[in-house]
Amino acid sequence: MEKEFNVREDSFSATDREYEKKLRPVEFAEFSGQQKIVKNLKVFVEAAMMRKEALDHVLLHGPPGLGKTTLANIIAHELAVNLKITSGPVLDKPGDLAGLLT
């Protein structure tokens, strides 16, 4: 009988973990590409942490596949904060965004 899969169970092998880390890095050092942008974001994040203040607004834009979502997750991880993700087409009017964030 095949073992039942449990998403909450930590049954990944070391190889699986390494593969997952390459797909979705959680630290700036693990992110490949966009080095100039990563360097700037690291400065912003480190400055916010040193001041013990929230990071100023960050807008990541561009076509799919550039790493925008991954960078957003890295920023949230580095700052140890939660991240809420939405999509532009979901928002019909300005008040919709406020509803998602509260």
Beta strands (DSSP E) in the chain are none
pLDDT of residue 17: 73
- Considering the chain, what is the average pLDDT of its residues? 84
Q: What is the CATH number of the domain that holds 70?
A: 3.40.50.300
Average of pLDDT values for 63-78?
92
Q: pLDDT at residue 39 above 90?
A: yes
pTM recorded for the entire structure: 0.71
What domain range includes position 91? 14-101
Look at the chain and report how many structural domains it folds into: 1
Confidence of residue 2 (pLDDT cuts 50, 70, 90): low
Average of pLDDT values for 72-91?
87
Pair of tokens at residue 80: 């140890």
Whether 72 is covered by a domain: the verdict is: yes
- Put residue 80 in one of left, alpha, beta given phi > 0 → left and psi -120 to 50 → alpha: left
Pair of tokens at residue 72: 């957003």
Whether 95 is covered by a domain: the verdict is: yes
pLDDT of residue 101: 75
pLDDT of residue 46: 96
pLDDT digits (tens, 9 = 90+) for 9-19: 566 677 877 77
Average of pLDDT values for 38-49?
96
